[in-house]
Amino acid sequence: MSMGAVRIEVVRGDLTLERTDAIVNAANSSLLGGGGVDGAIHAAAGPALLAECRELRRTTLPAGLAVGQAVATGAGRLPARWVIHTVGPNAHRGETDPALLASCFTRSLDVAAELGARSVAFPAVSAGVYGWDVRDVAAIAVQAVRTWADGASSGRVTRAGVEPATGPDLVRFVLFSDDALAAFTAACSPQA
């Protein structure tokens, strides 16, 4: 599916094998690894990723990364060039604001644009152990990407004027299950 200058793809697969410029890690606020997608990315990337995350914690993010925010590191042994870490809201802790979840996707795309990444692969942030229904995640994620793409295609308004359109031209949702694939496919349909 194409939205302006940004093409959206939905596939079932292993995020750690993606050859996009950047992959997005559904991280926890510590940035030091965890379970699910986070654990798989850290395991596949090797010690260089953990070392970069520790350095971020030591320097710019001593309290960790806030929910809805994003930060980039190198990708270690992964085929991607960068890992963009974002912390999704945890429904089990009462973090159920859709705007926080949407921010995970838009802030990750902002970081990707700052890096010069032309392609980004996302997991279903917060749909795993954080307890969000995958259909809600799909709807929020796809709408966030569409909204971001609309802003990117027309340029971003700054104090200095309108910046030219920049950022990824491919967003791929790489999903872990048939249910997630179906939810994201439905969210991307023209009727959605």
**What is the C-alpha separation between 69 and 103, in angstroms, rounded?**
7
| DSSP H helical ranges for the chain | 36-45, 47-58, 98-115, 134-153, 178-188
Contact 125, 68 (CB under 8 A): no
Strand pairing category for 82-87 and 161-163: unpaired
Instruction: For residue 107, give the nearest of 65, 59, 154, 56 by alpha carbon.
Output: 65
Active site residues: 38
Backbone angles phi, psi at 84, to 5 degrees: -105, 115
